[in-house]
Amino acid sequence: MIEIPTVPIILASRTILSRFLRVFVSMTIEARILRDGMYLSPKKSVEYATVINLFAEIFAWFTFFFLESVLPEASNNRLIRYLLLQKVDGVDGTVFIITVWYFLLFLVLKWSGLEIYRLITASQKVQESTSKDPNDHWSYRLKMVIRAHTVSYIVGLVIMILHLTEWN
Amino acid sequence: MNWKENVNRFKSIVNPIAPPKIFHWQTLLLMSIVIWGISFTAAEKDLQNSLAVIGLILLTISIGWRTSQPPFILSGVLLAPWITGTLVCLLIFQQTGANGADIAIKSWPFVCGFLIVLFELMKAQFESSSSPQIDRPNLIILLLIHILLTCWLEFYLLVFQWVEANPNLVPKTSQPTQAWVAPDAIKTFADGKLN
């Protein structure tokens, strides 16, 4: 009989489920903000929020896999302990820098995701949009993404802090 | 006398497996069986393997083709991408050997996502002669979900490596301590001097 090691499965599932929860919360909040800010239909706003969050999440995973392969052992162990055991060795400047860096990375990824998505679905979009649509200006779209991302990121941070205080 | 009977018998065996037209999934299935049979007669080992792989590829395409038709469509959802994706990953596993099992496992959702897009494009191409209407938003979301699943599987495999390399990551579980009775008490009880 094949013996399946349960510990890695449980540890990985916990991390993946907490990431999934964060993405799901972000999608819900951002869909609401984009709907009000960009005057979208509920379906379209959920579509936008889903695409930009999935796009950002995938690139964040790729960034993580890259960093994991190049980081020095000490930093790598710290990362592993945080991801698998939700243990943080004190809050210092590095944690603050990582938080800001992640905020900016996700912002750029979400905005790029939205632009790429609009480019791919361009032929369908032209029929829907009017000439005076503020959504046609990239600066307005960026403003909306910044607003949506800031709110969802703060909520995500609060969830993470609650999570950490529960486990530590 | 029996000549006609034998021909009829042969026809009754061949007819169900004979493809109704050349451009058909059964043609590919027959070709794969024939090539697989030929591979046994090849003298060189490399040629044998190459022919067997070609046979497997043709078999995968024919199964993908067949499963893109009813009854393999559930509520308008094609099952073909996932079935074909599984076969493609088995092919990858067969080619990479036991060490490449990781590649086959983590590439499965990505291959399925790619095949979903491919099947939708082909469906749009073959079904309507006018401008094909593909539900691009849904296709993009489906593809992204499949890529995310690939990332999750990669993470699972990474955690397996981490736990192997760092056994201290495994949380300590506390076992209930065994009941312990002082030897004197046992002796007293056995002698019937409990009170």
Dist. CA A62–CA B75, nearest whole Å? 34
* Least confident span in B4-8, B16-20, B175-179: B175-179
Please say if the pLDDT value at position A124 is more than 60: no
Mean pLDDT of the region A120-134: 64
The reported pTM is 0.80
Residues B48 and B89 sit within 8 Å (Cβ to Cβ) = no
End-to-end C-alpha distance for chain A, whole angstroms: 37
At A126, the pLDDT band (50, 70, 90 cuts) reads low
Q: What is the pLDDT of residue B166?
A: 76
Q: pLDDT tens, A14-62? A: 889 988 998 999 999 999 999 988 888 889 999 999 999 999 999 988 9
Residue type at position A14:
R
Please say if the pLDDT value at position A9 is more than 90: no
Q: pLDDT tens, B156-167? A: 888 888 888 877
Q: Which of residues 100-139 of A touch B (CB under 8 A)?
A: 117, 120-121, 124
Dist. CA A160–CA A111, nearest whole Å? 23
Q: Residue A124 has which token pair? A: 């369908």
Q: What is the pLDDT of residue A8?
A: 79
Rounded to two decimals, the ipTM of the complex is 0.86
Does A30 contact B at CB distance below 8 Å? no
Which member of A12, A51, A84 has the closest CB to residue B141? A51
Dist. CA B159–CA B108, nearest whole Å? 19
Is A61–B148 a contact, with Cβ atoms under 8 angstroms apart? yes
Length of chain A measured in residues: 168
Q: Which of A50, A76, A118, A128 to mutate to test binding with chain B, by most B CBs within 10 Å of its CB? A: A50
Please say if the pLDDT value at position A132 is more than 90: no
Residue contacts between A and B (CB atoms, under 8 Å): 67
Is A54–B148 a contact, with Cβ atoms under 8 angstroms apart? yes
- Mean predicted lDDT score pLDDT of chain A: 82
Q: What is the pLDDT of residue B52?
A: 86
Q: What is the pLDDT of residue B12?
A: 78
* Least confident span in A23-32, A82-91, A131-140: A82-91
Q: What is the pLDDT of residue A28?
A: 93
E strands present in B38-88? 73-74, 77-78
Q: What is the pLDDT of residue B145?
A: 94
- Chain A hits for B158, Cβ within 8 Å: 65, 68
Distances (CA, A) of B104 to A101, B92, B94, B110: 34, 6, 9, 10
Please say if the pLDDT value at position B109 is more than 80: yes
Please say if the pLDDT value at position A150 is more than 90: yes
Does A154 contact B at CB distance below 8 Å? no
Residues above pLDDT 70, as percent of chain B: 82
Q: Which of residues 44-63 of A touch B (CB under 8 A)?
A: 47, 50-51, 54-55, 57-58, 61-62
For residue B81, the cross-strand partners are none
Q: What is the pLDDT of residue A2?
A: 57
Please say if the pLDDT value at position A7 is more than 80: no
- Mean predicted lDDT score pLDDT of chain B: 80
Q: pLDDT tens, B19-77? A: 777 777 888 888 888 888 888 887 788 888 888 888 888 888 888 888 888 887 777 77
Q: Which of residues 156-175 of B touch A (CB under 8 A)?
A: 156, 158-160, 162-163, 166, 169-171
Q: pLDDT tens, A136-147? A: 788 888 898 999
- Chain A hits for B160, Cβ within 8 Å: 5, 8
